[in-house]
Amino acid sequence: MRVLVTGGAGFIGSHVVEALTARGHEAVVFDVRADPAADVRDPAAVARAVEGVDAVCHQAAMVGLGVGFADAAEYVSRNDLGTAVLLAAMAEAGVRHLVLAGSMVVYGEGRYACPRDGVVRPGPRAVADLEAGRFEPRCPVCGAELTPGLVGEDAPADPRNVYATTKLAQEHLAAAWARSTGGSAVSLRYHNVYGPRMPRDTPYAGVASFFRSALARGEAPRVFEDGRQRRDFVHVRDVAAANVVALQAPSAPGALTAYNTGSGEPHTVGEMARALADAHGGPAPVVTAEYRLGDVRHITADSSRLRAELGWKPEVGFAEGMREFAACR
């Protein structure tokens, strides 16, 4: 199979290229890092790129929370306009199989259960609560403490920041393309991906990268809130393998199917910071009580659908992955 990988020179995309090649496929890289003319928003460049390919693995995106709402136009341009240009070129060229780099950010907060009211969806956390160190969302019905759980793909979308909004829009565009062309689309909703080649020293990187960069400078990782916010940290090689499985598997024509892509093992951000610091040899993390308004409290994946339907399973455990990541240069 000949597969166009947008963002194929980037963090996740480069691992997808390696995984495809290892399984005997031909990966075609389309990435501004490799070629400044390879802009996914350029209809002519994209039209040339999709010629003769059997499928597209769309990894190119502007990621993270960025530095503020001033980034909004750039996020929409790169993520949503870029995806629309790509899908239009695929429609014209007759390419009918897409795997999209989705994200767990489309859910907003994760799944919560109230002892009285059952499964509930808390709204955005109030600034006054965050300032006072009240980080846990409360039941929107009775105000009781909530128990976080694993979020499934059928949970309603509730994006809480610009990046999240663009990732949900990408899915809607892909679904519209699939209905219009009879193509098949899969969105792999990545949870917190980490591993070799993760970007460093940029406000658009993930929290694991922030901590590793601090340790490399001899500084303590600064853990926001109280460090007890739960995430699902999944290794980039496992994510790359999920992309290959999704590209190879038969999928429903005319529709988009979403799959959570996570390790299935929740860990707190504080645990992750300590694991990295221990593997690196210190210094120990510092819990700061700082916060970012666009962050959610708990979001962890139920990835059973991906395991059951496509036969994927993660291979890199948390401790092993953190040791490897701490040693990355």
* Across 3-22, average pLDDT: 97
pLDDT band for 250, please (50, 70, 90 cuts): confident
Q: Measure the CA–CA gap between 313 and 316, rounded to whole angstroms.
A: 10
Of 18-32, 203-217, 271-285, 292-306, the poorest mean pLDDT is in: 203-217
* Catalytic entry in 107, 112, 163, 259: 163
Q: Measure the CA–CA gap between 89 and 49, rounded to whole angstroms.
A: 9
* Across 128-157, average pLDDT: 96
* Across 28-44, average pLDDT: 94
Rounded percentage of the chain residues whose pLDDT exceeds 70? 98
Q: What are phi and psi of 173, to 5 degrees?
A: -65, -45
Is the pLDDT higher at 174 or at 160? 174
Q: Are 197 and 205 in contact (CB under 8 A)?
A: no
| pTM reported for the whole predicted model | 0.95
For residue 203, pLDDT over 90 is answered with: no
For residue 157, pLDDT over 60 is answered with: yes
Is the pLDDT higher at 123 or at 30? 30
Mean pLDDT of the chain, nearest integer: 94
For residue 279, pLDDT over 90 is answered with: yes
For residue 83, pLDDT over 80 is answered with: yes
- 259 is known as an active-site residue: no
Secondary structure of residue 61 in the 3-state scheme? coil
Q: Measure the CA–CA gap between 213 and 64, rounded to whole angstroms.
A: 16
Q: Which pLDDT does position 201 carry in this prediction?
A: 67
For residue 274, pLDDT over 90 is answered with: yes
Q: Which pLDDT does position 202 carry in this prediction?
A: 66
* Across 68-97, average pLDDT: 96
Q: Which pLDDT does position 294 carry in this prediction?
A: 78
For residue 328, pLDDT over 70 is answered with: yes
Q: Which pLDDT does position 227 carry in this prediction?
A: 97
Is the pLDDT higher at 64 or at 83? 83
Between the alpha carbon of residue 171 and those of residues 48, 185, 252, 268, 274, the distances in Å are 24, 9, 15, 28, 35
